[in-house]
Amino acid sequence: MSLRLYDSLTRRLRAFKTVEAGRVRMYNCGPTVYDRAHIGNFRAFTWEDLLRRYLRFKGYDVCQVMNLTDVDDRTIAAASARGVPLADVTDPVIEMFLEDWDTLGLEEPEHRPRATRFVDGMIRLVEALSERGLTYESEGSVYFAIGRSPEYGRLAGIDAKGLTAAGRAAGDEEYDKDDPRDFVLWKGGDRDADGAVAVWDSPWGPGRPGWHLECSAMAMHHLGETLDIHTGGVDNLFPHHTNEIAQSEGVTGKKFSEFWLHAEHLLVEGRKMSKSLGNCFTIPELVDRGHAPSAIRYLLLSGHYRAQLNFTFDGLEAAAKAVTRLYEFRDRVRAAGEAETDASADLEDAATRARAAFEAAMDDDLNVSEALSAVFGLVREANHLLDRVHPRAPAGAETALAVIDAFDRVFGVLAVRGRESSGGDDELVAWATARIGERERARKNRDFARADAIRAELEARGVIVEDLAEFTRLRMGGRTIQVPRPLGAAR
């Protein structure tokens, strides 16, 4: 099966292919670290994590780069307002960002460049663009002349000639341009001015890099001139990514990225996020209200990335239930796999079908709804099979367990859920299940003293054991798992 992804540049679903066989070079526009990231930002980041994980699942070696925008208008405004150096604002925000990243169980990218550490490379890009005649200087600032870039605007589907109004609407503040459509590469600034918190020397005098230039420089530094995938939220299409293409391709003359992927925005209770509505929730705000990170992660991943995602508190409750259902199901098949029971092909069949449907759905531009329905279809079918005394199938249980493990390598919610149960809980379940298997063998050999000793051992670790007709029920902390008993076992 092969992966197809929707490329925003060509506006088509295209078969995914890498520049270098087996290796994906991916750049994600990271957070602007002027304030703690909100759940909207984390919708983008969590989806990028899903994409990373799915690429790895498909066998690719992934090199993922997500930058930290630690110098731009917003970070500078925050530092100037407080009269502190830029890093006094950005360092703590980066720390919070990494904390939230960890809370949601996102995998660590290979590189997390900070823009302020790459200013030299940015200056070199401006020099290279100047040598190619694509820039002009005005009052200490350097601009990109989009009139000299024939392909400009293709990504956003805009005709560069009609861009005047859009460029202004995008909030450009530079009035020294030859053409209002042009964008700044290097913004001249006075080192001694009041509130100057971010100024570097350059061949054009003191100043700072433009935001778009930062991403071009960091992406090419770590990933080379042509990336496989570049992502961001839809708000990045224009002007940010449009300008990144103009700059990068202006320097190299090569295609900047093979695929451009964009995630739609997150809404909260049906409304656009905004500070004035008070709905820009952060991860710790939700956790403080008692919501589990695993449920937040699940909800953020549960809609297709190209559709807006409506984040609601009802949805969060439903997400928590869905995660628990999967979590308990995994315990149950684990236990079924440990028991010595009759083999049956039914569970094996259901699991094999679910696994194929899961991968086919994810291959289809990461169709998570279909992928989840394949997994929950298996949960339903397998629970039904396991509810019956016959047939219970160790071989099938192993296949079902492999499907859940595959699911979680990609979705990563059960791993987070595991951390939420009392520490080491997963380990306790595995251990208790193994001890129950041992106890059944002792009973079969009529070694009741040993069986009782094992029960005492379990109870010493807080595991309550109840023998039912078909199951041994184990209760530990808030969890209950049922270990199927071998057919004809002594009671």
Please name the residue ranges forming H helices in 110-201: 119-131, 164-169
Q: Are 236 and 262 in contact (CB under 8 A)?
A: yes
Neighbours of 272 (CB within 10 A): 12
Strand order in the sheet with 257-263: 61-66, 23-28, 227-233, 257-263
Asked whether position 236 contacts ligand AMP by CB under 6 A, the answer is: yes
Closest to ligand AMP by CB, 30 vs 418, is: 30
Among 7, 8, 27, 40, binds ligand AMP (CB under 6 A): 40
Asked whether position 35 contacts ligand AMP by CB under 6 A, the answer is: no
Closest to Zn ion by CB, 238 vs 407, is: 238
Closest to Zn ion by CB, 211 vs 358, is: 211
Among 32, 202, 341, 344, binds ligand AMP (CB under 6 A): 32
Asked whether position 31 contacts ligand AMP by CB under 6 A, the answer is: yes
Give the span between the Cα atoms of 198 and 191, in whole angstroms.
8
192 — phi, psi (to 5°)? -95, 0
Q: Are 481 and 474 in contact (CB under 8 A)?
A: yes
Smallest distance from ligand AMP to CB 44, Å: 4
User: Which residues ranging from 330 to 369 are in contact with ligand AMP (CB under 6 A)?
Assistant: none
* Residue 439 interacting entry, from ligand AMP, Zn ion, none, C-beta within 5 to 8 Å by type: none
* Contacts for 352 with CB less than 8 Å, ≥ 6 apart: 399
Select the span of 26-34, 287-295, 375-383, 384-392 touching ligand AMP (CB under 6 A): 26-34
Closest to ligand AMP by CB, 116 vs 236, is: 236
* Contacts for 254 with CB less than 8 Å, ≥ 6 apart: 225, 226
For residue 431 the two structure tokens come to 């251990």
Among 5, 9, 24, 29, binds Zn ion (CB under 5 A): 29
The pairing of strands 135-138 and 141-144 is: antiparallel
* Residue 273 interacting entry, from ligand AMP, Zn ion, none, C-beta within 5 to 8 Å by type: ligand AMP
185 — phi, psi (to 5°)? -100, -40
Smallest distance from ligand AMP to CB 268, Å: 9
Closest to ligand AMP by CB, 76 vs 476, is: 76
**Residue 215 region, left (φ>0) first, then alpha (ψ -120 to 50), else beta?**
alpha
Q: Are 76 and 432 in contact (CB under 8 A)?
A: no
| Cα distance between the two ends of the chain | 48
Asked whether position 293 contacts ligand AMP by CB under 6 A, the answer is: no
Smallest distance from ligand AMP to CB 83, Å: 23
Smallest distance from Zn ion to CB 215, Å: 3
Please name the residue ranges forming H helices in 175-240: 211-223
**Residue 105 region, left (φ>0) first, then alpha (ψ -120 to 50), else beta?**
left
What mask of x and - would describe binding to ligand AMP in positions 257 to 276, judged by CB under 6 A?
A: ------x-xx------x---
* Contacts for 321 with CB less than 8 Å, ≥ 6 apart: none
* Residue 265 interacting entry, from Zn ion, ligand AMP, none, C-beta within 5 to 8 Å by type: ligand AMP
CA 244 to chain centre: 22
Among 235, 349, 370, 438, binds ligand AMP (CB under 6 A): 235
Asked whether position 43 contacts ligand AMP by CB under 6 A, the answer is: yes
CA distances (Å), origin 136, targets 139, 161, 179, 212: 10, 19, 11, 17
- Tell me the sheet residues that pair with 231: 28, 261
* Residue 239 interacting entry, from Zn ion, ligand AMP, none, C-beta within 5 to 8 Å by type: none
Among 188, 232, 303, 412, binds ligand AMP (CB under 6 A): 232
Asked whether position 233 contacts ligand AMP by CB under 6 A, the answer is: yes
Select the span of 28-36, 118-126, 182-190, 311-319 touching Zn ion (CB under 5 A): 28-36
What mask of x and - would describe binding to ligand AMP in positions 308 to 327, judged by CB under 6 A?
A: --------------------
Asked whether position 410 contacts Zn ion by CB under 5 A, the answer is: no
Q: How many residues bind Zn ion (CB under 5 A)?
A: 2
- Per the listing, tokens 């080192």 go with 191
Give the span between the Cα atoms of 296 and 417, in whole angstroms.
11
Closest to ligand AMP by CB, 40 vs 207, is: 40
Give the span between the Cα atoms of 76 and 85, in whole angstroms.
9
Select the span of 27-35, 160-168, 383-391, 472-480 touching Zn ion (CB under 5 A): 27-35
Among 106, 125, 129, 215, binds Zn ion (CB under 5 A): 215
Smallest distance from ligand AMP to CB 395, Å: 43
* Contacts for 95 with CB less than 8 Å, ≥ 6 apart: none
Closest to Zn ion by CB, 183 vs 327, is: 183
Smallest distance from Zn ion to CB 235, Å: 11
Smallest distance from ligand AMP to CB 40, Å: 3
Task: List interacting residues with Zn ion (CB under 5 A).
Answer: 29, 215
Task: List interacting residues with ligand AMP (CB under 6 A).
Answer: 29, 31-32, 40-41, 43-44, 69, 232-233, 235-236, 263, 265-266, 273
